[in-house]
Amino acid sequence: MSDLDILTLWRTLGRADDFLQTIPDARRGPSPLQGLGMFSSRPRAAGELVCVLDGQVVDSRKYPEIMHALEWNALSERLLLVRPLRTSYGYVNHARSPNLVIEPDGRTMRVVRAIAADEELTLDYLAPPVPPAYLDSEEGRRLRSLAAGPPA
Using one digit for the tens of pLDDT, what is the confidence trace for 21-78? 999 999 999 999 989 999 999 999 999 999 999 999 999 999 998 888 889 999 999 9
Average pLDDT over residues 105-128: 95
Model confidence at 152: pLDDT above 80: no
Query: Could you tell me if residue 132 is inside a domain?
Result: yes
Q: Tell me how far CA of residue 61 lies from CA of 50, 138, 144, in angstroms.
A: 30, 18, 21
Query: Could you tell me if residue 152 is inside a domain?
Result: no
CATH for 85: 2.170.270.10
Q: Looking at residue 122, what DSSP letter applies?
A: E
- In 3-state terms the chain splits into helix, strand, coil percentages (rounded to 5) of 20, 30, 50
pLDDT of residue 44: 98
- The residue range of the domain holding 101 is 6-142
Average pLDDT over residues 79-91: 91
Q: Looking at residue 89, what DSSP letter applies?
A: G
For the chain, the domain total comes to 1
pLDDT of residue 110: 98
Query: Could you tell me if residue 108 is inside a domain?
Result: yes
The confidence band for 7, taking pLDDT boundaries of 50, 70 and 90, is: low
What percent of the chain clears pLDDT 70, i.e. is strictly above it?
85
Q: Are 52 and 87 in contact (CB under 8 A)?
A: no
pLDDT of residue 22: 93
Query: Could you tell me if residue 74 is inside a domain?
Result: yes
Q: Mean pLDDT across the chain, nearest whole number? A: 87
Query: Could you tell me if residue 93 is inside a domain?
Result: yes
- Of the two residues 14 and 115, the one the predictor is more confident about is 115
Query: Could you tell me if residue 35 is inside a domain?
Result: yes
